[in-house]
Amino acid sequence: MRSGYLLRDVVNKVAGIHFTSTDELHTLGALYESMLREMRDAAGDSGEFYTPRAVVRFMVQVTDPRLGETVLDPASGTGGFLVEAFSHLAGQVKTVADRKVLQTASLVGCEPKSLPYLLCQMNLLLHGLDAPQIDPGNALRFKLSEIGERERVDVILTNPPFGGEEEKGIQGNFPEDRQSSETALLFLQLIMRKLKRQPTSAERPARAAVVVPNGTLFGDGMCARIKEELLKEFNLHTIVRLPNGVFAPYTGIPTNILFFDRSGPTKDVWYYEQPLPEGRKNYTKTQPMQFQEFRACMDWWRARKENDDAWAVPASELLESNCNFDRKNPRGKIEFEHLPPEYLADDIMQNELRIAELIREIKATLAVRA
């Protein structure tokens, strides 16, 4: 800051903040959230650290963490999921013992990049968590087969990075037939492994809500093997198909939210196609998705019936289709839309990554046969 007078004013303002005041901390937390949004809007790279608050809040609300359960975000970014989960759990605190559980045994995260790691710590502190437990290492650095019940958690809420590539050392932590350079598939396997096998302290199955790109739904080969395990070992009860543009302008890749738990194998998968608001064709930075748009989905969640936006597919049908989860709405209208060039570029990039993955699998197969 070049102006000494301006710096003096800032110091005086900070000195006047009462950090023990709940009201002032609440205001600071709201201010910090707005700063994170501005940072995201000012630089495209920051978009990878920020999930729209409407999506975060929806995932927390329907997953409904209970006090006494441990919530994990293995790709914390700036801490949006953990902050929302903290607020959700704070409403359940009734005693001093409850508050101790909330502060010491409820939230854990992982964020290897230094900038979002610091932003996440500050975000949680400003929202009232006294000692955030955020691991500054890569959540994928541990060998999958060595993760036991002691390292498992009750609830996982996350939007892991996708479209990136992991180094060979990280890929080696996964079974040979499940190794991939696609970050999203590695995180999905980690999340499946990290869910507790036994019911939680709230007598509910351990559960997860995970944002994934469309490529995960229709991917075959190694991707299909992961999804087969998901259907046979977990209850993949819901896939919410998000509208195009939810993460615009940082990526135009269509996204979905997978909801699954440890209650047993999947019998039926419910799909819910979240519609765009009437009259809208897309979301923008100035007109992002709003939480109230999920109201119809949340009402449906409690009393499920097929309608224009929701339909069910038997797990047996998905298994017979080589685990292709990319199912279209049987009541949906077929519309042709000219997508912006940047959306098409993102789709091309995803297809190129998938082609490269298939080539590696073919070469590995040929090498074994030779």
Q: What is the domain count for the chain?
A: 1
Helix (H, G, I), strand (E, B) or coil at 13: helix
Distance CA 92, CA 95 (A): 9
- Which residues are 261's β-sheet partners? 207, 235
For residue 355, being part of any structural domain is answered with yes
The whole domain housing 230 covers: 138-369
Paired tokens of 341:
């060039």
| β pairing state of 268-273 and 235-241 | parallel
For residue 349, being part of any structural domain is answered with yes
Please provide the distance, in angstroms rounded to a whole number, between the alpha carbons at the two ends of the chain.
Answer: 65
CATH classification at residue 152: 3.40.50.150
Residue of higher predicted confidence among 193 and 126: 193
pLDDT tens string 109-166? 999 988 888 888 888 988 889 899 999 999 999 999 999 999 999 999 999 988 767 7
- Which residues are 156's β-sheet partners? 72, 208
191, amino acid identity: I
For residue 19, being part of any structural domain is answered with no
Global pTM?
0.82
219, amino acid identity: G
For residue 119, being part of any structural domain is answered with no
60, amino acid identity: V
pLDDT tens string 258-306? 999 999 999 999 999 999 988 888 887 778 899 999 999 999 998 999 9
pLDDT classification of 9: cutoffs 50, 70, 90: confident
Distance CA 183, CA 163 (A): 7
Distance CA 33, CA 40 (A): 11
The number of residues making up the chain comes to: 370
pLDDT classification of 252: cutoffs 50, 70, 90: confident
For residue 21, being part of any structural domain is answered with no
For residue 232, being part of any structural domain is answered with yes
Q: What is the DSSP letter of 327?
A: P
For residue 13, being part of any structural domain is answered with no
For residue 56, being part of any structural domain is answered with no
